[in-house]
């Protein structure tokens, strides 16, 4: 192929402007040079990209397809530049990490902060997604490691324990069930709920549990974070399923009741590709997260011993 990035940028600019002269000006080319480049591009691809009219240009079907691909190329280039930029300022390594909402809203901020203080020349690119999305990203090599809940469907993934958590039921303080010590899911199935968005792993998991009981989850409000669920519950908008770890300092004032359900346990695990060779920085992050989880487990056992 004889075309280059300049040709693709010109093509995208002309497609956006629907005018050769205006599009050429955006990429600092003379109209005659732009016209020649577009002609060669069409010849190289073997198809017309524009339909010429008296009032300007419109994309053909091939032009629309090329524009989609060109935009993806530009996005990848921007991401490449963003990934490489830290190295120019002295960064020696970058680790890509995918995690579910439970992890990013509870344990990871403190654990990552400690790691980055100990490793000032490492950068971590964190992407939040669902637990199935974390597993898929790790299996596909789109990230170095992941943190999620549940059992992976991919056989080529390796798991390490990270943290133990548990779903609790958050209720408005004035709710009639707010003074209960425990509740079964079926007891509140008819209540309105505040939930994470429909595409989230937590939403799908809880919806499936409602179906198993022969009902459905009455989602009154969907919000983007666990902290937002707590705020909406405190305002009386509904009930919410929230990890125990979310009830820390600064959490809104709500009643929390334990769920008498075996599935309420939410064990978080660190996921890597089986047999993959991690970079030194990624391996150090895995070791750090494992150590944080072990330290937390020991502290919980010590508190339990003192209480008994």
Residues 208-256: tens digit of each pLDDT: 899 999 999 999 999 988 889 999 999 999 999 998 888 876 677 899 9
Residue 202 binned pLDDT confidence (cut-offs 50, 70, 90): confident
Report d(CA 272, CA 281) in Å as an integer.
14
The CATH number of domain 5-88 is 1.10.10.10: yes
Q: Which of 139, 167, 174, 141 is CA-nearest to residue 153?
A: 139
Which CATH code for domain 92-308?
3.40.190.290
- Count of all residues that appear for the chain in the document: 308
Q: Which residues contact 125 (CB under 8 A, 6 or more apart)?
A: 83, 94, 95, 96, 97
Beta strand 145-149 with 93-99 is: parallel
Angle between helices 61-88 and 5-17 (to 10 degrees): 120
| E strands, the chain, in order | 50-53, 56-59, 93-99, 122-128, 145-149, 157-171, 182-183, 192-195, 218-222, 240-243, 255-259, 265-273
Distance of CA 233 to the CA centre of its chain: 24
Instruction: Please tell me the predicted confidence (pLDDT) of residue 170.
Output: 95
φ, ψ at 19 (rounded to 5°): -155, 130
Task: Please give the span between the terminal C-alpha atoms of the chain, in angstroms, as a whole number.
Answer: 74
Calpha distance 151→31 (Å, rounded) = 58
Q: Judge contact between 92 and 282, C-beta under 8 A.
A: no
Provide the pLDDT for residue 305: 61
| Predicted pLDDT at 284 | 92
Q: What is the predicted pLDDT for the residue at 250?
A: 64
Confidence of residue 129 (pLDDT cuts 50, 70, 90): confident
pLDDT of residue 21: 94
Q: Kindly report, residue by residue over 37-83, the tens digit of the pLDDT.
A: 999 999 999 999 999 988 889 999 999 999 999 999 999 898 888 77
- What does the pLDDT read at residue 239? 96
Q: If 0-12 CB within 10 Å is exposed, 13-18 middle and 19+ buried, where does residue 153 land?
A: exposed
Task: Determine how β-strand 157-171 pairs with β-strand 255-259.
Answer: antiparallel
State the CB neighbour count (10 A cutoff) for residue 189: 16
pTM above 0.85, yes or no: no
102-109 mean pLDDT: 86
Q: What is the pLDDT of residues 265-275, one digit of tens each?
A: 888 999 999 98
Domain borders along the chain are: 5-88, 92-308
């Amino acid at each position: 192929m004889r075309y280059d990035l300049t040709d693709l940028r010109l093509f995208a600019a002309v497609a956006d402007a629907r005018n050769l002269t205006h599009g050429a000006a955006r990429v600092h080319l003379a109209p005659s040079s732009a016209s020649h480049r577009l002609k060669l591009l069409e010849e190289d691809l073997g198809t017309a990209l524009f339909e010429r009219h008296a009032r300007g240009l419109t994309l053909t079907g091939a032009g629309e397809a090329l524009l989609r691909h060109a935009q993806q190329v530009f996005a990848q280039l921007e991401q490449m530049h963003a990934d490489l930029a830290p190295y120019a300022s002295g960064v020696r390594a970058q680790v890509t990490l995918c995690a579910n909402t439970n992890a990013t809203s509870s344990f990871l901020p403190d654990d990552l902060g400690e790691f980055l203080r100990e490793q000032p020349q490492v950068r971590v690119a964190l992407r939040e997604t669902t637990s199935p999305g974390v597993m898929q990203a790790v299996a596909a090599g789109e990230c170095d490691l992941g943190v999620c809940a549940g059992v992976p469907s991919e056989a080529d993934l390796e798991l390490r324990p990270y943290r133990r958590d548990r779903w609790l039921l958050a209720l408005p303080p004035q709710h009639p069930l707010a003074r209960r010590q425990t509740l079964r899911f079926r007891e509140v199935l008819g209540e309105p709920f505040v939930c994470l968005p429909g595409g989230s792993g937590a939403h799908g998991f809880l919806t499936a549990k409602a179906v198993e009981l022969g009902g459905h989850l009455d989602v009154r409000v969907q919000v983007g974070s666990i902290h937002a669920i707590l705020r909406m519950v405190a305002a009386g908008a509904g009930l919410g399923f929230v990890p125990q770890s979310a009830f820390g300092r600064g959490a809104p004032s709500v009643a929390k009741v334990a769920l008498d359900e075996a599935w309420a346990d939410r064990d978080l695990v660190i996921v890597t590709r089986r047999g993959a060779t991690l970079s030194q920085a990624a391996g150090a992050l895995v070791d750090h997260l494992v150590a944080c989880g072990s330290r937390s487990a020991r502290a919980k056992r010590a508190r339990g011993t003192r209480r008994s």
